[in-house]
Amino acid sequence: MTDSTLQTPDSLHRRYNQVRDRIRQAEAHCRREPGSVQLLAVSKTRSVDEIRALAALGQRLFGENYLQEAVSKMAQLEDLNLEWHFIGRIQGNKTRRIAEHFHWVHSIASLKHATRLSEQRPAHLPPLNTCLQINTSGENAKDGYSGNELMERLAAYAVLPNIRVRGLMTIPAPAGNESARRQPFHQLRTLRDRLRTERLPLDTLSMGMSDDLEAAITEGATMVRIGAAIFGPRQY
Ligand SMILES: *Cc1c(COP(=O)(O)O)cnc(C)c1O
């Protein structure tokens, strides 16, 4: 029996290079500066050994969805200087540990959670970098603000002392063709352009995953969140 979660260092290296090539090509294609898009490696369900192998290839930014799993991995990888991004759904009773352990949170969709994260951010750490999540697909079941909701609340976010609002994030519904794929990313960028001010430059657009990173980069993504294309298909 073969186990598709087992991978050789070679296949990881090959996939990682492929993803980096895709990003470089997309940057070049829309005349964006090489290196203007950061790669966040999404390592949920992946082992500490896989993360270590990817870090050895030069990857520094890692995204995790589940707090318990993430904190355990961080403890085992303390010797590496990795930057950890929380991209999962936030539960109210877990904000303290998120505030204590992460450098970034991409999935903020509640002022209450953000207020707690700010209050619970340890004093010896710099402010927590955050993205506010926008529901670009209009599905009720999805987390995230509509553009109008966020416009009303942004001022309240901007004054939280230990939170730095860096930008917006979205997880669009899967789409079949290129123009449908680009639409939610275009919407996120337009919203960002409307909301940004000198005091709140919103320099980050966290958008694009394994299947749609080109569309996201074309529309201005500054950080793409890639799991399967680097590590192979996930098995739960
Ligand atoms: C899992 C996940 C990703 C990565 O998805 P892939 O399709 O594996 O690239 C990106 N963003 C979020 C919020 C995720 O939960």
User: If we measure between CA atoms, which residue out of 161, 157, 90, 86 comes closest to residue 120?
Assistant: 161
Instruction: State yes or no: pLDDT of 198 exceeds 50.
Output: yes
Give the whole-number percent of the chain exceeding pLDDT 70: 96
Distance 225 CA to ligand 1 centre (A): 6
pLDDT band of 176, cuts 50, 70, 90: confident
Does the beta carbon of 233 lie inside 6 Å of ligand 1?
no
Res. 10: pLDDT tops 90: no
- Across residues 131-153, what is the average pLDDT? 89
Ligand 1 atom closest to residue 231's alpha carbon, by position in its atom list = 8
204, with CB counted inside 10 A (0-12, 13-18, 19+), is buried
Distance in Å, CA 184 to ligand 1 centroid: 16
pLDDT over threshold 60, residue 118: yes
Q: Supply the pLDDT for residue 8.
A: 75
- Residue 190: pLDDT band (50, 70, 90) is very high
How far are the Cα atoms of 17, 38, 98, 105, 205 from residue 85, in angstroms, in the given order? 22, 13, 10, 6, 14
- Residue ID of nearest Cα to ligand 1 atom 5: 227
Short-list 231, 148, 210, CA closest to 22: 210
pLDDT at position 6, please?
56
> Is residue 87 within 6 Å of ligand 1 at its C-beta?
yes
**Tokens linked to 36:** 């203007």
Q: Which residue has the tokens 């991409």?
A: 106
Distance, in Å, from the CA atom of 118 to the CA atom of 112, rounded to the nearest integer, reads 10
Contact 212, 178 (CB under 8 A): no
The full set of domains in the chain, from first to last, is: 4-230 (3.20.20.10)
